[in-house]
Homo-oligomer: A and B are copies of this chain.
Amino acid sequence: MSTIKEVARLARVSPATVSRVMNGEVPVAEETRRRVEDAMKQLGYRPNSFARSLASNRSDCIGLVISHLAGPFMGTLMVNLEEKLRLHRKSLLVASGHNELIREQESIDFLMSRRCDGLLVQSDRLHDDALVALAAQIPLVVINRRVPGLEGQCSYVDNQQGGYLATRHLIEQGHRHIACITGPRWKQDATQRLAGYHQAMEEAGLAVPEGAVVEGTWQESSGREAVDTLRRRGVPFTALAVGNDDMAIGAMLHLKELGLSVPEDVSLVGFDDEVYAHYVTPGLTSVHVPVDRMAQAASGRVISLAYDDPWQGPLCFSTHLVERGTVAPPSSAHVTHP
Q: List chain A positions with a Cβ less than 8 A from chain B.
A: 46-51, 53-54, 59, 61, 68-71, 74-76, 78-79, 82-83, 86, 91-96, 98, 110-115, 220, 249, 253, 256, 274, 276, 279-281
Contacts and interface: CB of A to CB of B under 8 A. Distances in A.
A49 B82 contact: no
A251 to B, nearest CB: 12
Contacts of A47: 113
Given A115-B49, A276-B276, A110 B86 contact: yes
Nearest to A284: B279
Contacts of A71: 75
Contacts of A76: 70
Contact of A79 (B98, B112, B115): B98
Given A48-B115, A69-B79, 10 more contacts: A50-B51, A68-B79, A70-B76, A70-B79, A78-B96, A82-B96, A86-B96, A91-B93, A249-B276, A253-B279
Contacts of A79: 68-70, 96, 98
A41 B71 CA distance: 36
Max chain B Cβ within 10 angstroms of own Cβ: one of A91, A95, A112: A91
A120 B25 CA distance: 35
Contacts of A113: 46-47, 49
A92 B48 CA distance: 19
Nearest to A74: B75
B75 A95 contact: no
Contact of A82 (B50, B51, B53, B94): B94
A95 to B, nearest CB: 7
